[in-house]
Every structure is written in structure tokens, then in C-alpha cells.
A and B are shown apart, each in its own frame.
Chain A
Amino acid sequence: MAESWWVSTLARGLAFSAPLLLAALGELVAERSGVINLGVEGMMILGALAGFAAADASGDPWLGVLAAAAAGTLAALVHAFFSITLRANTYVSGLALTMVGLGLSGLLGKPFAGRPLAHPLPKLDIPGLSAIPWLGPGLFRGQSALLYLGLLAALLLWYFLYRTRGGITLRSVGENPAAADALGVNVYRVRYLATAFGGAMAGVAGAYLSVDYRPSWTEGMTAGMGWIALAIVIFAAWDPLRAVLAAFLFGAFYHLAYRFQAYLAPEFLKMTPYLFTVLFLVLSALGKSVRLGAPEALGRPYLRGERE
């Protein structure tokens, strides 16, 4: 009994966390370079549409994933142009991207609404590993390849951020762009690349929904997941491995909200992860024991030669 509860919570929590994790990892990298992109929701939905359209037209779901990454990247570059090059208000630019993304995808997606996808991404069963008691059935049975991509990306990003020169460069641009500039780092280039990466990941997160999780296209199908991804970045304190845990928590509570519905108000369980986020923020603001870890220059446009 306990095992079946645990297995279904693990399996469903991971399945629901995959798009959150993918989008959050992308945003995390962008924010580490100092760029806040509130357009995650917009990039995700554009990715979902592009992914569905490409998978539908080609019959290959992986082409859909690629198209979604490309669409997300393009959308992110618009944000990069406004917030990095033009130094426009980064919050307004991101919000605009979300609104444009939702509207544009709704308009362009009309012909795809209500169509099933003939070839969605296959669910993976990993023989051997899925027989491991407690962990196997949840982790290795019927999960999406994109979930493993997300978990792998979290590991690689953690290594990249903390163990490589490129990671130090990225972090220094987010902490103190002037100093990084003085050391010969091209701040604009790093920020462009990081923002584009964020867009690509958000696009793939969207594709997860439209070519795997659902799999079909409907207007507004991201339903606020982009905003949850933004919350996860904060909750994870800008750490890729903690993002895995945070995304899983959101996914698990989302699942449990339906398991416990007979006994507990579902609103309460759905609220819980956000409550954690707020609590975490309060704790980290009060004491020094928890390091919040927000990049120093987060959300501040950089102008070469300008003194603070």
C-alpha cells in the first residue's frame, strides 16, 4: 500500500515536473547572467505550438522538439534585443513577450486545435532498472525522454556553473558585469547566449506538453506553468540541482491534490509549494543561514562605461 502510494507519487510528480524543470533550468541560466525573462510562459506556449505543428507535419516528434527549441530561442532573442541592447525595462519586455506569445499562438494555432497527434514521443520503459523496488517503477517506467533530458541538463548545468571556466564567466556577468567587462568578458554576448538558452529550454518545455504529455494542441495549454517555473528558480535559489527537487515538489503536490481530495481541500495542497516559496524567501531574508543566491545584477541592464 505504502509502496504503491510512493510509486504513483514519484511517477506522477516527475511527469508533471518535467516541463517545470526544463523551463526553470533555462530561466535559471538566463538569470545567472543577470537577465530576468518574465516571458517564460509566452516562450513555452510558442514552443508548444511550433513543436506540435512540426511534429504533425513531419510525423517525427523529435523534429517537433527541435522546432520548439528554435521557436523559444527566437522569442527569447526578441526579449534580449529589448532588454540587453535597447536596455528597455526588462520586466515590461518579458511580460509583453508572455502576452504576445499567448495571443500569437492562439491565432496561429487555430488550424491545429482539436487534432490528435499521430506520432507523439514514445514513453520509455527501461528494463532492469524499472524492477528496482520503490524507485524503479516511478523513475524508469513510462516516463518521457524529455524528463531524462531535464535531469541530465540539471546535472550538466550544475557542473558547468560551479566547475568550469564558462560557468564562472556566466556567474560573474550576473554578479558584477562591470568587473567581468574589465576582465575582458563580452557581457552582451554572454547575456544574449544565456537568454537564448533560456528560450530554447522553455520551448522544449512547451513541446513536452504538446508532443508528449497531452499530446495535442489547445490554446493556452501551458496554463500558467511558465510562472511556476519562475517561482521554482527562486525556490531553488538559482541552483540547478535544487531546481530538480523544487520542480518535483510542485509536481508531487499537484498529484497529491487529487489523491487527497476526499480528505483535504485541493486548494490547500495546490497552494503548498507556493507557500514553501514564500516561506523560503522570508527565512532567507531574515537569517543569514540560508543564502538566497540571487545574482547581484539581476534585472539591471548593463551599459558599458556607466558607473554605478
Chain B
Amino acid sequence: MKRVGLAVLLVLGMLALAEGRLKAGWIYVGPIGDYGWTHAHDVGRRAAAKAFPWLQTLYVESVPEGQVGSYIDQMVRQGVKVIFATSFGYMDGVLEAAKRYPNVIFAHASGFKRAPNVATYMADFYQVYYLNGLMAGALTKTGKVGYVGAFPIPEVKRHINAFALGVRAVNPKAKVLVRWIYEWYSPAAAKEATEALIAEGADVFAFTEDSPTVVQVAAGHKLPSFAHYSPMLKFAPDYVVSGQLVDWGVIYKDFLAKVYAGLYTPKNLEDVDYWWLLPQKAVALGADRGVPVNPKFIPALRAKKIHHPVFGEISVYDLVMKLKAMMSDVELAFDPFQGPIKDRKGNLRVPAGVRPTQAELESLEWAVQGVEGPWPNEPK
């Protein structure tokens, strides 16, 4: 009898403990082993789980975008109070579910629609792409830089534009050749697109795709490339120059801490939009963590000198480091999209001295000069 009483007490105690914990759930569009987008979100989830003892996390992977609603239902039934939906395509499904569950907090990555209980968040790379572009411009010998893009949507277009602006700042005659693969994750498509770009004469590569394929293919031809999303230096130690790295963990930790502290409630998220860049350390420049530029390429980047309107005669390496420092400061003394910028059809898109707003950057459809290749939905 005593034993049963003890067991009941124990169970009650555990329930009480569980009661005090915040349950957060993540919905992933791909497998966590994709080594790209979903993998990075899961690294962020684990960082948050490790940081906060009061946090209990769970996740579902490979959730098709149209079916997000039923997965949310399931999570809510399991007692989840905060749901992170990590794909752009979940947007409308999340907003519908948010109406069904007004007491659950939702956060949607890379979207732009909010509600009292739906916040949005994004760790954006455009600054880092510009820095990588500077280096690519210095390293290309053929004057053709290859870019393998996932989908022609504003986010990817913004990144290609920032990259191309960097390339042309160093190498005004260089071109950025773009090929689309119409997949977020497709190693075979990324490989063949890279091979096609090599056949066209491109000799430096950057990309948006969730695997290290482009890096591996370029290295196979002894050509340099820039990593995307995860540290990829180990896949081609002699050929990865740098790249863009993400840390979703800083956003997840900030958001969950504010939920736990009662600052974020299911009633006040209408204006909560994380647009975190270099200053917030949500993104970083690097071939690997702590390796902003592969040391093997530093001599070549130092040797390439250009005339910069602000800094005068300067090596590309020093320029990258200076601009990186400026863009890592909350004052943002430099922005890649500061006007004047013309699109490739000759229209003035950003007037001199003006910087596009976040909303403008998030809906950008035009291509800057120097970008070559198909560009669906290009405005006239």
C-alpha cells in the first residue's frame, strides 16, 4: 500500500514538473540530415533545448507544405505551446491553424504574414553574400561566376543580387551566370547545373541548395566555391573559400526566453518580426565556424588590389574585413543595396543615397546588372 502511494506521489510529482516546463515544437520541411536548411534549424532547436532546463522540445521532419495543418493539430494535442514552422510554404497553413488555436504561439520562418499569435523570423544572408561576392570577383579568371539557385523567389533573388553587387564591385566586367534547379534539396540537379555552368566557362561558384554538392563538384574540377548554410570546409578543404553560416539558435533562444518571461503572449505578436543579420550574430561569414576566410585563399585575396570609392587603394581581403566589421555593427555604416542601383534592364531601382526597406528587400524581383540567365517574374 505504501509502495502504491509512493508511486502515485512520484507520478504526480513528475506531472507537476512537466507542468512547469514549456513545450515547444518544430515543424521541418526536410529531413534533419539534409545538411542545409532543416539541419540548421535543428541545430538551433538543440541549442535552445540545451540552454533552457525549463524547455521541452519535439519536432517532426519532412512535413509537406500542404499538410502543415494536421501536424499542428497533432502537436497541440501533445500539449505544445510554441510552434516553429520553418518553411515559407507553411505560411497560410500556419495562419489558419493560428485561428483554430488562439492560445498557442506560432512563429513562422521566412514569411511576412503575422497575427496576434503569429510572429515571423528570418536570419538573412544578404550582407554575407555581398562579402562572398567581393571574394568571388577577385578569384574569377574567366570573368564568369556561376550561381546555382533553388527557386526564383525574392529571397534567393535578393541573395544573388547582393552576391553579384559584390562581384562587380571588385570586377566591374564580370558576369554572374545563374541556373535554377527548382528544388530546395536535389544533389543530382545541383551537380548537373554546376557541370553545365562549368561547361559555359564559370570558374567560381556560389549556390542556394541544401547539400554540399556544388562545393564537391567544383572541387572535382579544382575550382573554388562558397559554402552555403552549414560549414562545408571539410568537404573540399582546398577549394572552399568562405560561405554563409547561420545560427538559428540565437533567435530561438531569444524568442523562447521572452515567451517564458511572459513578454510574448498569444495576443501581442502582430508586430514581432525578427530580421536578424550580422550584428545579431544570426548569420556569419565563413567556410567553417571560426574560419571567415580559408587561409589558403588569403594570399590571393591580399594580392588583388582595387580602387574603392571610400577606402581608395585597398586589397580585397582588407575590404572584406572592413565591410564585415561595418555591417556587424548595429549602426550599419554600410549596406550592399545602398543606391544608386540599376537593374539589368537599365531602370534605376534604388536612387542614390537611399537604402531599400526590409519590406522592399523581401519582395525584390529584379536582377542587378551583371546577372545573366533566366529570371522568372522579372519586372519590365
User: B192 and A261: CB pair below 8 A?
Assistant: no
Chain B residues with CB under 8 Å of A291's CB are none
Contact present for A223 and B186 (CB under 8 Å): yes
A266 and B31: CB pair below 8 A?
A: no
A65 nearest CB across to chain B (Å): 19
Complex contact B31–A220 (CB within 8 A): yes
A213 an interface residue at 8 Å Cβ cutoff?
yes
CA distance A12 to B199 in the complex (A): 10
Check if B193 sits within 8 Å of A258, measured CB to CB: yes
Contact with A along B201-225 (1 / 0, CB 8 A): 0000000000111001000100000
A58, CB-defined interface residue at 8 Å: no
Q: Establish whether residues A106 and B31, one from each chain, have CB atoms under 8 Å apart when the complex forms.
A: yes
Residue of A nearest to B231 (CB): A114
Looking across the interface, which residue of chain B has its beta carbon closest to that of A260? Answer: B196
Contact B188 A258 (CB under 8 A): no
B211 touches A218 (CB 8 A): yes
Chain B residues within 8 Å of chain A by Cβ, number: 33
Residue contact B34 to A255, C-beta cutoff 8 Å: no
Measured CA separation A257–B199 after assembly (Å) = 13
CA distance A216 to B35 in the complex (A): 11
**Is B374 part of the contact surface with A, judged by Cβ < 8 Å?**
yes
Smallest distance from the beta carbon of B3 to chain A beta carbons, Å?
Answer: 39
B220 — which chain A residues lie within 8 A by C-beta?
A: 123
A16 touches B188 (CB 8 A): yes
Q: How many angstroms between the C-alpha atoms of A108 and B227 in the bound complex? A: 27
A218-B35, A218-B187, A219-B34 as given contacts; A261 in contact with B179, CB under 8 Å = yes
Using an 8 Å CB-CB cutoff, how does the interface string of A23-46 with B read, 1 for contact, 0 for none? 000000000000000000000000
Q: How far is the CA of A200 from the CA of B199 in the complex (A)?
A: 34
Let me know if A4 is at the binding interface, CB within 8 A: yes
Q: Residue-by-residue, is A264-278 near B (CB-CB < 8 Å gives 1, otherwise 0)?
A: 001100000000000
Which of A12, A123, A214, A219 touches B33 (beta carbons < 8 Å)?
A219
A262 touches B373 (CB 8 A): yes
Q: Could you tell me if B193 and A214 are in contact, using CB atoms closer than 8 angstroms?
A: no
Contact indicator A223/B188 (Cβ below 8 Å):
yes
B39, CB-defined interface residue at 8 Å: yes
**Chain B residues closer than 8 Å to A59, beta-carbon distance:** none
Does any Cβ of B come within 8 Å of A221's Cβ? yes
In the assembled complex, the Cα of A116 lies from the Cα of B180 at a distance in Å of 25
Chain B, Cβ-Cβ closest to A5: B199
Q: Which residues of A contact B39 (CB under 8 A)?
A: 113-114
Q: 1/0 per position for A200-224, CB-CB distance to B under 8 A?
A: 0000000001000111101111010
* B105: min CB distance to chain A, Å: 29
Besides A109-B33, A218-B185, A258-B196, 8 more A-B contacts (Cβ < 8 Å) are: A4-B199, A113-B33, A114-B230, A218-B211, A258-B181, A258-B192, A261-B196, A261-B373
| 23 intermolecular pairs with C-beta atoms under 8 Å apart | A8-B195, A8-B199, A12-B195, A16-B192, A106-B31, A109-B33, A116-B212, A116-B234, A123-B220, A214-B213, A216-B235, A218-B35, A218-B187, A219-B33, A219-B34, A223-B186, A255-B195, A258-B197, A259-B196, A259-B200, A262-B373, A266-B180, A266-B182
- A residues engaging B (CB < 8 A)? 4-5, 8, 12, 16, 106, 109-110, 113-114, 116, 123, 209, 213-216, 218-221, 223, 225, 254-255, 257-259, 261-262, 266-267
